[in-house]
Chain A
């Protein structure tokens, strides 16, 4: 499937088509993925500086693997609350608090102060979402026609991946073009990414560390940088990198191990092709992890994966009194290879990979609310590449900003 996804990503970037992106001609007001956190619907509280918002997702799910199903279940994967405040001129604050799985987990995913020095130079500090790929910053459930997040964006990039740190961002627009950048240093990963209950290199394992918002696991910063280029017609293309030392290489001043790095590179693209054409969203990720040679090969040194979403509006008209109700159909292709390498013992290819396809339909009575139904099918192979387990999932859900 990676043979399909990568060319799709490249072809999409070169596609000649019309777009209905909401950007403007102004020098810093074009809306890019980096603006997603502030580009949400908020409700102003009177005349005060504070505005509130949020979204909720609720799903029902029926899944089966190789003929075995646990039946139907209902879930509330996310309830997210936003608070934003215009503190003063060119000083603003936004926080995003997410309650996952009915409140079992409560996470502050974003809580940053932004100081606007110039439209090309803004300081951001606090808990921020590392700008790696696009989905990590632009993941609100009501925006998507799919109940499940892209696999690569949650298992290789551990969306939502946010950390405490500081950095700068800025953007510039001229005519149909806009470009932006972000550069941050934050706390980062830890040794759990190669020592976890998944039994594979697993970047999301670092999210289990409850102290990561208090102190760095090893005293070394994680660098994240992203550059974005946008054209009204051709869409938005992003290239991002995130890297740093992940292991605890010293303790009490004594050396324990060499410094071992994790580096992630992502390429993302999104566009709306034509006035009524499909919306295309794609992302591809490569992760490199320095794993000791004397450790088990279960923990891969290279990972890669990607997804392509295509959402096509079917019609828009008045339905049940909603003046601009819309029905979209959607499809997603995705894959993740958690261990791109070969066995030392045999030279044979290490598998540990999955491929998935999802079809969906979404009904949007208003833009910020979606009722959606998905059918997904995933083939997953183990480390050795044995015949894949096959999982099919039906989901029906609702997601809405409020």
Chain B
């Protein structure tokens, strides 16, 4: 009797095991995860980068700060998504192409947090500055693999076609450790930047090494500077770890669009083109050669041209980087836009500093070259506006 009872207790437990495990979220509900088609060796490196990016929290003992913005990469990019006002950083000190004039006063980035016993940096009085929300990480490898020539083909600095849109590249000087990619185009020794809110970062190595240094106060052989003293210091992260993080960022998948077959989404995409959004938020880009097979020679839908555009006075913070003007911002990719609340704590913080708390508000803050599209959006019938929003939320 007792034996039978014990056995009976075990049966439902064994039978229910599989059904009681939490299921994986659908692929289109997540921003993180690797691109399809990586080899086993590449998966291992992706995981190493994932651990370094999301799990490694720096402390005073491992080199944090003493002045910093964040303690880990992942804390600014929850779920590899868009940041939150809590993780917003401040850059300051540059107002034109002559460069940053506040480097001796802690520029270009304000480390507004400090280890106990240290005083954080203060923004110098009168310094031009902008608050910048961390962008999502997804699909960055595809954006890096788009050839320079493809971006230049989208540029129209003199608005030759008269559509009011005049995208321009941000021509930047490269740090010594950054090597121009195959087929790179140069202009007076400067190259096309494509990452960062101002497009002032050339590639993911520069982005990673700079973030370690400026965000967390972690020195590397690439950026061997102590952000507290301003002097040289020993590396606090290995080249291998930096390389793993770069590989991780490079091989994060592109966001997967949801509800593509929904009539409202289909209609919304047509409105997106009709009101001119697609002139800057270019739906498709084509990648060139890449040492990582799945990234090479493929078509992606990031909805960006990776170029700078005048966004009007409302978004002109008076601060800039590289050759960009203060009113110019790089077109942010829209892929993953609909998943933003899932990485921003259920809220919605859009535009370069998170000031817009809805997609509609973000559209309404578009000016400059985007003003005509904004006005067209505002004049749309309610159903078409709703369709456009459904489309954007599906991205």
Chain A residues within 8 Å of B3, by CB = 319-320
Residue B15 at the chain A interface, CB threshold 8 Å = no
**Size category of the binding interface on chain B:** 35 or more
Chain B residues within 8 Å of A294, by CB = 113-114, 118-120
For residues 1 through 51 of chain B, which have their beta carbon under 8 Å from a beta carbon of chain A? Answer: 2-3, 5-6, 9-10, 13, 17, 20-25
Q: Are A384 and B343 in contact (CB under 8 A)?
A: yes
Q: Are A199 and B21 in contact (CB under 8 A)?
A: no
Q: Which residues of A contact B (CB under 8 A)?
A: 62, 64-69, 191-192, 194-199, 247, 256-257, 260, 292, 294-298, 317, 319-320, 325, 327, 343-346, 348, 351, 361, 363, 373, 375, 377, 382-387, 390-392, 394
Q: Are A260 and B116 in contact (CB under 8 A)?
A: yes
For residues 88 through 124 of chain B, which have their beta carbon under 8 Å from a beta carbon of chain A? Answer: 88, 113-120
In chain B, what residue has the closest Cβ to A68?
Answer: B24
Q: Which of A66, A295, A298 sits near B116, CB closer than 8 Å?
A: A295
Q: Can you name 24 A-B pairs with beta carbons within 8 Å?
A: A62-B17, A65-B22, A66-B24, A66-B25, A195-B60, A196-B57, A197-B56, A199-B75, A256-B117, A317-B2, A345-B84, A345-B85, A377-B20, A382-B78, A383-B75, A383-B78, A383-B86, A384-B86, A385-B345, A385-B346, A386-B78, A386-B343, A386-B346, A392-B22
Chain B residues within 8 Å of A295, by CB = 113-116
Q: Are B84 and A384 in contact (CB under 8 A)?
A: yes
Chain A residues within 8 Å of B24, by CB = 66-68
The smallest C-beta distance from B131 to any residue of chain A, in angstroms, reads: 10
Q: Are B21 and A64 in contact (CB under 8 A)?
A: yes
CA distance A152 to B364 in the complex (A): 47
Residue B71 at the chain A interface, CB threshold 8 Å = yes
Q: Are B71 and A298 in contact (CB under 8 A)?
A: yes
Contact A67:B79 (CB < 8 A) given known A62-B17, A256-B117, A384-B84: no
Q: Which of B9, B17, B56 sits near A394, CB closer than 8 Å?
A: B17
Chain B residues within 8 Å of A199, by CB = 57, 71-72, 75
The smallest C-beta distance from A316 to any residue of chain B, in angstroms, reads: 11
Q: Are B119 and A351 in contact (CB under 8 A)?
A: no
In chain B, what residue has the closest Cβ to A388?
Answer: B22
Q: Are B116 and A67 in contact (CB under 8 A)?
A: no
In chain A, what residue has the closest Cβ to B347?
Answer: A348
CA distance A103 to B263 in the complex (A): 62
Chain B residues within 8 Å of A344, by CB = 86
CA distance A65 to B88 in the complex (A): 30
Apart from A296-B71, A386-B346, what 12 extra A-B contacts exist at CB < 8 Å?
A: A64-B21, A66-B23, A198-B57, A247-B116, A294-B114, A295-B114, A296-B113, A319-B6, A348-B347, A385-B346, A392-B20, A392-B21
In chain A, what residue has the closest Cβ to B117?
Answer: A257
Residue B394 at the chain A interface, CB threshold 8 Å = no
CA distance A377 to B72 in the complex (A): 28
Q: Are A345 and B116 in contact (CB under 8 A)?
A: no
The smallest C-beta distance from B110 to any residue of chain A, in angstroms, reads: 12
Contact A384:B21 (CB < 8 A) given known A346-B347, A375-B13: no
Q: Are A387 and B342 in contact (CB under 8 A)?
A: yes
Residue B344 at the chain A interface, CB threshold 8 Å = yes
Residue B70 at the chain A interface, CB threshold 8 Å = yes
The smallest C-beta distance from B8 to any residue of chain A, in angstroms, reads: 11
CA distance A256 to B117 in the complex (A): 6
